[in-house]
Chain A
């Protein structure tokens, strides 16, 4: 494998990172909204959020990407592969992060909200200052775990013609007929992204545990 092929893989890697980042950041915003709806105490909002979570956890990511890419094209909304997979991953991550964070919000002891209410803190401050900082700490291992899943999940974007790391590997492999070498390198690149993240996750977890001891 020459330098040109390797650089092509790195271009794929760049799009994998970009897609993961977009999916995670936009999914975090959507997920926070879903988690807050799900714990709002308002029935219609809770049902809506629960339905959304059920839908996206109950169907394969691959199918979700198909529906966004081909489905929206059918109703006349022609999106580039780039925009389509970004939307798909955002919707997907919103559901999972929403569910992870709902659990974490509910795991914060009730007395915390009560003390905050008794101190006349309103909803926004109760959440922002009291509940969410504790919920984030609780959710950290699961959140980082999901991010790792999301990064690996971006390989599915190749199915709609989006050239990220896995598809770049496929293309190179078809050119130089050394699949084992190429996919070995692709695997190492994925590992180098995911492994430090997992380490970072456990590091944060330990640090928070010390702070709250």
Chain B
């Protein structure tokens, strides 16, 4: 315990620092979007608000204050857990963002799991089935990793919804509606993870400890399950934290194409309307999810690699 506590404290401090940086960068970045925020409060870019109304809103929301004062006011609110009120919807950002979080998390987690399964399957098969399998496997991985989400999503809709008519083109809220969005996110990631896994699997299969295991009478299956796959999964586990982040950003595209409610769409709408509190709210919640995921992959690495538990 004496060793665990300082490490945990350092982690926590690091997480707080990351959140602070995220809040800061987002705060200044949204200020770069052209237009008057008071306009956003009064019905968005198209509304015909009077100058008096705009001035009143500016004072009420503090837009007339210097930027640095607004920054610290925002930071102070964030520290108390208050994400503010949406300009456009005039509701609290906290509950709004939380209500959208579930759908996006489900999408991201399912895509991550599917990507892992696909990557494992291709990597194992292609290192086992001889030269042709190796070629096919590695080509599949390269192609998959290079697919852009928007193209893949459109193609899947064309094939499965319009062509075959087996799956809905827009989200229906049931499992059938999840299949295409999850596939869209999982396939490119699977290609990427698969490349890494196959590479480290090949290294592990050539290593002296595998030769030792074979010399003990270990079967080909045993060599893989007891030794090689464990080694092969290590780099892929470390990358999963990053992959999760990329899945969430992919969700912006996927949720829009499949008309799925979620954080991605909420974020897109908020940016268009210059709804700063919602933008910051979404970014903060994603940052928290990302940090938790990183901690989780860290724990998973330590579980698989006992060497990390030593020091």
Q: A and B bound? A: no
* Residues of chain A having any CB pair with chain B under 8 Å: none
